Structure 1
Amino acid sequence: MLCCLCRGETETETEEHICPRSWLMFGSSCYYISQSRSWDLGRRDCVQRDADLVVINSRQEQAFLTGFTEAAWVGMTDREEEGTWMWVDGTPVDTDGLLWAAGQPDDSYGSEDCGDIRTMITFIGLNDFNCCARSRWICEKHFSID
């Protein structure tokens, strides 16, 4: 239960009541856009916030996340098997249903095993990038209304 109503009060649930302060709400998730670190340190930060790197489940969710920053880590990697992109929750990335930046993924220099989302003038969409590079990241936590 999100709140308890007392006599004479009306229920006015807002984003602040559902998502922590400085988090954004979309659908049934809250999102936090961070500062700059590697993919692994970004994921660790998300876990410390009782969240994980974002798992993008639809083009609508991807569109919502596009534009908050030029680049941000998301929760996808192909570290286990090159070319097989998996989300941090163990589900496969819908490589056909989501928008990839032009020519991506390309495993440039054989070392791009972590995913980010880009919003640049001519380079918009998902991208593979070197996991050690410093970038912002997006945490996601789900909520449920009881």
Structure 2
Amino acid sequence: MFENLFLSEKAHTIFTSDNFWFGANNLVGNWSWMDNTPFDFSDWGKGEPKNISNCGAVRIQDGKWITDDCFNAKPFICKTYMPPILSTTTTTTTKTTTIKPTPSAQPCSDPWKYYDKTKSCYKILNNLNWQDANNACFKDGGGHLASIHSLDENIFITNLIPFNPNYHQCSNPNLAWFGLYTVDNEASWNWIDNTPFNFSDWAPGRPGDSGFHNCGLLHGTNCGASYGKWGDGMCDAIVGYSVCKKPAFS
């Protein structure tokens, strides 16, 4: 409760809008935090959450939470954690020296894999739903589930995924989440990293129009489409793989 009031008070002195974005969302069918911490507190306004919009905002006037379309532009508040300070001391003086982290000589630290055409790093996760996978990507260096902007990038990513060629079913163990999602019943698709949607590689008949297959999947073998083609699925499904992406070290 204190943190909620603190944010509202700060927002009142900074923003001129009526409300602002924070990290609550309903993209996978239940309200949760983007950083994957437990959703153990809420302060919804009267009649909320409406559950017709998938993102949460805070009313500056009273600090109550409301829901709104995720694509409406609003000011927002970010939260980060203070990293531990590494220090060394000598035996002859009380002077403390702060050691600043230095980037790796390689563009990507292990187990991330570098792709020169996008200047990005990629990593494969196992057995997660879409939002948990995206949260795990974000916790590891500020990444997201991967956006894909060319056929070459699609092929590179598909080849990273250890799909089992001997698995003879088109089911969750041989599918992979990436950063594609929709919030308008599949009328339009977007990337979770907010980059332009300028490339697609859908399998025949996809995306469907079920209204509840709101997250993008990469097909492994035996899914009635070429290896690496895109499908759509229920965001809360746990699938075999997920693909993270983040910028390489500059």
TM-score by length of 1: 0.78
Q: Which residue matches 1:107? A: 209
Q: Which of residues 100, 109, 114 is equivalent to 1:25?
A: 114
Q: Which residue of 2 aligns with 1:9?
A: none
Consecutive unaligned residues in structure 1, runs of 5 or more: 4-12
Cα distance, 1:104 vs structure 2: 0.7
Count of residues paired in the alignment: 130
Aligned counterpart in structure 2 of residue 49 of structure 1, from 140, 160, 165 = 140
Could you give the per-residue CA deviations for residues 93-118 of structure 1, whole angstroms, max 9, x where no partner exists? 23xx421112110134x310001111
2: CA distance, partners of 1:115 / 1:36 = 15
The residue identity in structure 1 corresponding to 2:138 is: V
CA RMSD of aligned residues (A): 2.1
Residues 112-144 of structure 1 deviation map (CA, whole Å, 9 limit, x = unaligned)? 000111122432311111101112211101125
Is the counterpart of residue 60 in structure 1 residue 152 in structure 2? yes
Q: Is the 1:107–1:128 Cα contact (8 Å) retained in structure 2?
A: no
- Please identify the structure whose Cα radius of gyration is greater: 2
- Structure 1 stretch displaced more, 77-86 or 36-45: 77-86
Q: Displacement, 1:79?
A: 1.7
CA deviation profile, 1:62-115 (whole Å, cap 9, x unmatched): 011124233211111012453210001224423xx421112110134x310001
TM-score by length of 2: 0.48
Larger RCO, structure (CA 8 Å, separation 6 or more): 1
Counting aligned pairs with the same residue, the percent is 28
Cα distance, 1:142–1:91 mapped onto 2, change above 3 Å: closer
Structure 2 residue runs without a partner (length 5+): 1-101, 164-173
SS in 2 for 1:30: strand
